[in-house]
Amino acid sequence: MNLNLSTINEMPKEQFVEALGAIFEHSPWVAELAFDARPFRTADELHDAMVKVVIHSSEDRKIALFREHPDLATRIKIGEYSTLEQKGAGLDRLTPEEFEVFTRRNREYTGKFGFPFILAVRGKDKSDILAAMEARIDNSLEEEADEALWQIARITKFRLHDLITE
């Protein structure tokens, strides 16, 4: 499905949230709160408005958003956007040994930080992703929360640009 900005700008709130609510993983509240920033002249302007909603939300709400993201290389059912992104990075084709490494790293990361490892995987392969996991495990909670927010901004920018024609 592709949408153009004029259509998005003319949508009633309910339809706007329906169309854009999945951009931020299982968090339609982001689209709902960005609605009043219309009209948007570009997809980047819409994205900026949505990211500002997250940045200005409470720490608890940010952590809840982080926790909505699936583990990378998971075998449980995940959202459509995440499924396509992980498939594009080859995470659906791991050997049993690779799957075990990712599972162990995901557990270690979540155990330390309290939310899953978040990375914009577009353009990356499994070795890039594993290297990022290993590099970031030594970060502080504050560093990882900032990095998670930055990665979510990258992920959602890709998603919006895939969805919107200007």
| Residue of 26, 56, 69, 161 with catalytic role | 69
Q: Over the chain, what HEC string results?
A: CCEEHHHHHHCCHHHHHHHHCCCCCCCHHHHHHHHHHCCCCCHHHHHHHHHHHHHCCCHHHHHHHHHCCCCCCCCCCCCHHHHHHHHHCCCCCCCHHHHHHHHHHHHHHHHHHCCCCCCCCCCCCHHHHHHHHHHHCCCCHHHHHHHHHHHHHHHHHHHHHHHEEC
Q: Two tokens at 64?
A: 């809840």
Determine whether 69 is an active site residue.
yes
Residue 35: Cβ-neighbour burial (10 angstroms; 0-12, 13-18, 19+)? middle
What residue has token string 């302007």? 45
The residues carrying an active-site annotation are 69
